[in-house]
Chains A and B, each alone.
Chain A
Amino acid sequence: QSALTQPRSVSGSPGQSVTISCTGTRSNVGNNKYVSWYRQHPGKAPKLIMFDVSERPSGVPDRLSGSKSGNTASLTISGLQADDEGDYYCCSYAGTYVVFGGGTELTVL
């Protein structure tokens, strides 16, 4: 049940694009489509922003996109906005356990 690996921080200017990677193993990320992403603002509960690798919940803009290649999933945010700042967590369901990434802090410069 080792945590998935995410970069500790990423940054970009308004309007730019950033990509957050999430690396797991063949047992979790590489094994199925159940990769999800969450954004958390300070002092708030996390919010689902992507599921099934690349599906967006209702209300999440199409500026956010997800993908997966092998054991690595990625979240791309294009057209960065100030409200995109926050902590981002990837997550994978592995059948008998669930594992999160360590989190990535996104800063909009």
Chain B
Amino acid sequence: DVQLVESGGGLVQPGRSLRLSCAASGFTFSTYAMNWVRQAPGKGLEWVAAISASADTTLYADSVKGRCSISRDNSKSTLYLQMDSLRAEDTAIYYCTKWVYWFESWGQGTLVTVSS
């Protein structure tokens, strides 16, 4: 079974940085594109970033472009999201997702709270 386990969330002050991780198992990680999707409290889903299987292509939502960086380590089956210059509006549950032109599998998410 596919398992995606996010970690790294927590309370962080505005302007600071945070790195999220997602440990993947149950599939050949290196052959799938991966994405991050977030959900602010009480709000809908928002796509954040995507990375191709070989990491040669990355895409970002306009809302995080220039502040976030998605990466992966295929040798460790791990996906990352580096978030800099965090803002209150970045407060959300961040989901790691397996991508096949649709979000085939989801992790349980990690909560990021940006507040002073």
Contact = CB atoms under 8 A, between A and B. Distances in A.
B61 A97 contact: yes
A35 to B, nearest CB: 8
B47 A97 contact: yes
A35 B95 CA distance: 19
Interface string B84-116: 000000000001000011111111110000000
Contacts of A38: 45, 103
Given A45-B107, A45-B109, A98-B50, A93 B44 contact: no
Interface residues of A, number: 25
Contacts of A1: 61-62
Given A45-B95, A45-B107, A89 B101 contact: no
A40 B42 CA distance: 12
Interface string B35-76: 101000000111100100000000101100000000000000
B35 A98 contact: yes
Contacts, number: 59
B115 to A, nearest CB: 21
A3 B40 CA distance: 15
Interface string A81-109: 00000010101010011111111000000
Interface in A1-36: 1, 3, 34, 36
- Which residue among A34, A96, A98, A99 has the maximum number of chain B CB atoms within 10 Å of its CB? A98
A48 B59 contact: no
A97 B108 CA distance: 23
A100 B46 contact: yes
B106 A46 contact: yes
Interface of A: 1, 3, 34, 36, 38, 40, 45-48, 51-52, 57, 87, 89, 91, 93, 96-103
14 contacts: A3-B44, A38-B103, A45-B106, A46-B95, A47-B106, A51-B101, A52-B102, A57-B104, A91-B45, A91-B103, A93-B101, A98-B59, A99-B47, A101-B44
List the 7 shortest-distance A-B pairs measured between CB atoms, nearest first. A36-B102, A98-B47, A103-B44, A51-B102, A45-B106, A100-B45, A34-B101
